[in-house]
Amino acid sequence: MIRAELSKLVSLPATWTTLAWTLAANVLLTFVIAVGDAPVAYSRAGFIVLGVLATCSEYTGGQIRTTLTAMPRRVRQLAAQHAALAVVTLPASLVVALSGPLITMVVAGTPVALWQVAETTAYLTLLTLVSAAVGVLLRHTLAGVGLLLGCLFVAAPFVHEYLPDDLVTLVVSTPVLLIVAALAYRRRDA
């Protein structure tokens, strides 16, 4: 099932264009802002798009019906889809997380903070999974991306002081949202 979901994800051209644009934007921003992984604050938007697309693309051309007739055990299928997304996202996050600090090292000679790269990689991967879960709930790409960007760039700065560290917030919210999405997905009419 994971192989089927992987095959689905990598044969979607939007997966690759989103990742390519995200990396390009991150590299460009690093030259503009020129401080390590700061550009990730903006380029994480690309991972939101990737996550939402992974689940919302099911609702284009009636693909969801093909998916659910081929893999009718819905919770397992959804889990496989998220696992496949993680398999693709983890290395992509690492590349993006590493790109900024590497450029800074080459240009300014600042050493790469490996722990920070690992943290950023985990952050981006979890953010992608959360986005996929939101996509499952909303079933609409633009609505999903809009909502998540709104949360991250508009709402988050206001509530920031009441929340723990970004990564901790994600570590807690990811499983919660995944479970909520799975419960909704299991019961509803496709």
Partner 1 sequence: MWSGRPAGWLGGVITIDGLVKRRGGKEILAGIGFEARPGRVTGFLGPNGAGKSSTLRILLGLDRAQAGTALVDGVPYPALPDPVRTVGAVLDGSGAHRSRTGRAHLRWVARSAGLPPARVEEVLTLVGLADAAGKRVGGYSLGMGRRLALATALLGDPSVLVLDEPLNGLDPEGIRFVRTFLRDRAQSGRTVLLSSHLMGELAETVDDVVVIDHGRIVAKGTLAEVTGAHRNLEDAFFALTSGSGR
Interacting residues toward partner 1 by CB under 8 A: 1, 3-5, 7-8, 11-14, 57, 60-63, 65-66, 68-74, 187-190
Least distance (Å) between residue 49 CB and partner 1: 15
Identity of the residue, 4 or 167, whose beta carbon is nearer to partner 1 in the bound complex: 4
Given the structure tokens 């919210």, which residue do they identify?
173
Residues 157, 168: Cα–Cα separation, whole Å: 16
Q: Phi and psi at residue 145, in whole multiples of 5°?
A: -65, -45
* Tokens representing residue 67 in the block: 């998916």
Least distance (Å) between residue 81 CB and partner 1: 11
Q: Are 31 and 103 in contact (CB under 8 A)?
A: yes
Least distance (Å) between residue 61 CB and partner 1: 5
Identity of the residue, 44 or 82, whose beta carbon is nearer to partner 1 in the bound complex: 82
Identity of the residue, 16 or 42, whose beta carbon is nearer to partner 1 in the bound complex: 16
- Cα–chain-centroid distance for residue 47? 4
Least distance (Å) between residue 13 CB and partner 1: 5
Identity of the residue, 75 or 108, whose beta carbon is nearer to partner 1 in the bound complex: 75
Residues 129, 55: Cα–Cα separation, whole Å: 10
Residues 86, 92: Cα–Cα separation, whole Å: 10
